Every structure is written in C-alpha cells, then in structure tokens.
Amino acid sequence: MTSLLKLTSTMLVVSAMAMTLVAVSPSARANSLYHDLGEREGIEILMEDLLLYVAEDKRINHHFVDIDILRLHEKLSEQICELAGGPCVYTGDDMVTSHTGMDLTNTDFNALVEALQKAMDDRNISVGAQNRLLALLAPMHGDIVGR
Amino acid sequence: MDGQIQIGMRLWLGVVGVAASLLLLAPAEAASGRLLATGGATSIEGAAGGGLVPWAVISGYTEDDQFGGTVTLSRAQVDDYRLDVTAAAFSYGNRFEFSVAQQMFTLENLGAELRQQVIGAKYKVAGDLIYGNIPQISVGGMYKRNTRYDLPQAVGSERDSDWEAYVAVSRAWLAGPFDRTWLANATIRSTRANQTGLLGYGGDLNDSHELQLEAALGMFLHRSLAVGVEYRQKPDNLSFAREQDWMSAFVAWFPSKHVALVGAYVDLGEIAGARNQTGYYLSLQASF
C-alpha cells in the first residue's frame, strides 16, 4: 500500500514536471536572447572572449592556427547574432562546408562549448540565456563533428 | 570464516587500490572530452547513474579514444540500517564502462552485517545524452554475490550470487522548462535480487528474473548543480518480510570534472520487517 502511495506520489511529481515541459514553449523568445547576450556589441565581445579561451585550450587551439582569426570572429558574431534573433545575416559558409576536412572530434566540439560557457560566465549572461544559446548550437553537432 | 572475510577484504582493497593508482597515472587531460556532469554520479552498485539507479551515461569524462575512471565512497543511513559502498569504475571513450562495488549493510539493531560485491559492465549502443536525435541507449550487466551468506540463507534466499541485465535510456534537454537543463532516465532491469541482492537472490515466493522499472528525473539549476528524484521498482521474493520500492530526492554538485558530491533523502520502505526506513544518502566521487 505504501509502495503504491510512493509510486503515485513520484508519478505525480514526474507528471507535474512533464506538464511544465509542455506549458513552456521556447518559440518567440529568440529576440529576447539577442537582448540577453548584449545585442551586437555584446555578442562581438563574447566571441572575442570565446576565441581567447580557444587559444588557451591545448585540446583545440591547433585547429585555429592557420586561419584568418578576424574573419572567423566576424562570421561567428554574425552567426550567433542571427541565431539569437538579432538583425544580422550570416554570410559565411554552411557548417558542413566550413568543417569538412577538419576531422573534428566530440572532444573538440565539447571544448568549444566549454570555451563559450566560460566566455558567457565572464559576461554574466544568465543561466537561462546560456542554455537557450547552447540549445540553438547543439543541433550543429552532426554537421561539424567527423567531417 | 572470519579469516576468509579478512582475506576477501584485503584482496578487494588491493584491487580498488591498484585501480585507483592506475587511474592516477592516467594523464589528467586524458579524460576531459565530455561536458560537466555528463558522466553522472556513481550509483550504489557502482555503475554511473544517480544514486539508486544506473543510467545510460558512461562514467567519468572520457570521450573519443580517452580512458579514465572514477572512485566513489557512498553511505545511506536510514532508521535501522546503514549501507556503505566503495566503488570504482573504468571507462573507455563515451562507449564502455567497467565497474566494481563493495557494499556493507549494517543491521544496527542486530549488530549484524551483510556484504555484497557487484561487478558491472555497461556499453552504449546508440545515441547521445545531448547531441543528435537519438537519446543515449546503453545495455549493462551486473554480477552480484554475497560474501556473507548466513543471514540471506536464513531468511529464505535461494542462492548467494546472480546475474542482472538492464537497458537504460538517458536524455538531456539543454533548455527545458524554466530555461534549465533537464535530464531524464529510464532503466529496465531483469533481476531476482532481494533488497538489491543484500539479502541474496530469489526466494520462496518467486525465483525467476522479473523486469523492473527504474527512473530518474533531474533539473540543473546551473551546470554544476542539479536536483532531482529517482524511483526504483524491486521484486518481492521472500515470504519472511515484504520488500518495497525505493525512491530518493537528490542534490548533485559538480564543482569540477574531478569531483562530484551527491546528497539525498532516501525512502527505502520496509526492509526485513522494519517499516518506513527513511534517511539520508551521501556520495563523494573522484574522477580521473
């Protein structure tokens, strides 16, 4: 009996958690993400910080030695700005094209995520905004890793 | 008898010690390919997971062709009993995990104790916790044995060792409700263990493996701090006392990729005739 009660109470908690999943819709919040990231200027600083963390990270900095870092910074800033719902247009190559031949690993991808997380921490970007940006970037994993 | 236990204990400590020193020798950066907390904590049976439930996650932070491991000390203290666990896990990539756990269950009123050793392996067959469209799906097996069998035998256990197999599915949502990262896990285990095997395997009421459902749901307040609940369904094989499902509500803190600390409230129901066994659970994990 108490077992049944316990199961019921756990199921109630779980279903309450599941209902909030349905209730909160992620749509129409992209523009507020652009705002939360500090708009165009904030995103440019964020991408600069990101690249500085990348340069320090022995796991991935070798991938960045022979590239035009200023162009990369510009394209990254455009891309994040557009993704976040800002008034920008990404003018770079698609993710598959730009990463083909690099043979990137999961470790590489995660190292970049960690560099971004540290950069966002430094800019005092809220946990919620950080998560929303990461959720927009995570689907690119398949286009970037193992190409 | 006591001499045998001593030798067994020493052998066990030796194994754990060697495993720990091997792990310490591994280069520090070898096992840092995954994101924080993606190896979970260490469950009471040694497999990566929550506290009570093995999850589909692979222990530690190994990714690609890295290897590494974890060493964990855990304790559950409820009204009449205490469970102490020493565990170690070895992992290769985000693919394979091998684990060992030594459990000591103290019956405080009787001044007696039960002992169980668990050897486990887990293999990720598909998907990923975070990336792609398929959740992380792993299969695992455990070999369990009682190293003190007098009490389990006295209460009607059929054997002093047994196998278990499970399938686990885990998935994280980076920006779930409240813009927080959520993690859900469901595990189906084939088992005939009595009180997870502490009271032997199989009994007079049932002596076959049964499928049991185990689940976990957690929310990350931020990327190093999670709260959640776990539920573990259990068989009821012995007529001498009924056995109930277990649940917990936990807080898990991952201050770095080297340390994880879990605290929980646990409700272990009725154990060997003593009802409403509730209390706390603490677990400290070191990753290499």
3-state secondary structure of A117: helix
Residues of chain B with Cβ-Cβ distance to A106 below 8 Å are: 33-34, 63-64, 94, 131
For residues B168 and B60, give the distance between their C-alpha atoms in angstroms, rounded to a whole number: 17
Q: How far is A68 from chain B (nearest CA, A)?
A: 26
Comparing C-alpha atoms, which of B220, B175, B193 is closest to residue B45?
B193
Cβ-defined contact of A106 to B180 (cutoff 8 Å): no
- The 10s digit of each residue's pLDDT in B121-170 is 999 999 999 999 999 999 999 999 999 999 999 999 999 999 999 999 99
Residue B119 is which amino acid? I
Residue B23 in contact with residue B288, Cβ under 8 Å?
A: yes
Calculate the alpha carbon distances from A31 to A24, A120, B166, B184 in Å: 16, 18, 44, 29
Cβ-defined contact of B180 to A107 (cutoff 8 Å): no
Residue B238 in contact with residue B155, Cβ under 8 Å?
A: yes
B62 and chain A in contact, CB less than 8 A: no
Mean pLDDT of B203-208: 96
In chain A the domains, ranked by start, together with CATH numbers, are 29-144 (1.10.490.10)
B267 and chain A in contact, CB less than 8 A: yes
For residues A120 and A126, give the distance between their C-alpha atoms in angstroms, rounded to a whole number: 8
A61 and chain B in contact, CB less than 8 A: no
Q: How far is A132 from chain B (nearest CA, A)?
A: 5
- The 10s digit of each residue's pLDDT in B10-55 is 655 665 565 555 555 554 445 789 999 999 999 999 999 999 999 9
Cβ-defined contact of A10 to B229 (cutoff 8 Å): yes
Average pLDDT of chain B is 92
Q: Which residues constitute the domain of residue B272?
A: 2-287
Average pLDDT of chain A is 87
Cβ-defined contact of B247 to A10 (cutoff 8 Å): yes
| Model ipTM over 0.85 | yes
The CATH number covering residue B242 comes to 2.40.160.40
Cβ-defined contact of A23 to B173 (cutoff 8 Å): no
Count of domains for chain B? 1
Mean pLDDT of B192-220: 97
Position B258 pLDDT exceeds 80: yes
- The 10s digit of each residue's pLDDT in A66-88 is 899 999 999 999 999 999 999 99
A134 and chain B in contact, CB less than 8 A: yes
A14 and chain B in contact, CB less than 8 A: yes
For residues A77 and B85, give the distance between their C-alpha atoms in angstroms, rounded to a whole number: 49
Position A27 pLDDT exceeds 50: no
Residue B78: per-residue pLDDT: 97
